Amino acid sequence: MEAWQHIWREGIAPVLSVRGLEVLRRALVADDAALGQGVTARNEADNLDAPPEVACPLGYAGWQGESLATVQDAEDWFAWVCGQIDRRLKDPFSCRWFMQFWDNTPRPEARRQLLIEVERSLARRLQGEDGAS
């Protein structure tokens, strides 16, 4: 298992809601342009108080899955999720392994691999096996 997968399985997936996982799954399947690489959350105007137009998987799960209204909300959500990941894994900055995978892997491959993990996480969540808190 690669480091990013460990971070996803043990740190990220248990923190995300089922709705967050479901919207992320749909975005990966559809290759939604709003699911971005190399960005946490942003909009064309770079206005923190306006709705996001694009976000990374964690920001997207919060924005679309938790109905976050602004770029600032998505940025704050991302920071909260990363803090939860670090706490769960007892490793500061452990989120970086996942983000490096997402940002540095060619989009088609990153989407394919993350979709596998998201679907696995959803199946485990629905079976009550993931240890979500």
pLDDT at 96: 93
Q: What pLDDT, in 10s, does the model give residues 57-116?
A: 999 999 999 999 999 999 999 999 999 999 999 998 899 999 999 999 999 999 999 999
Find, among 58, 21, 54, the residue nearest to 35 by Cα.
54
CB proximity list for 13: less than 8 A, separation 6 or greater: 21, 117, 118, 121, 124, 125, 130, 132
Q: What angle, rounded to 10 degrees, do the helices at 95-104 and 107-126 form?
A: 140
pLDDT at 132: 54
Q: What pLDDT, in 10s, does the model give residues 15-43?
A: 999 999 999 999 999 999 999 999 999 99
Residue 42 near residue 53 (C-beta atoms within 8 A): yes
pLDDT band at 128 (very low <50, low <70, confident <90, very high): confident
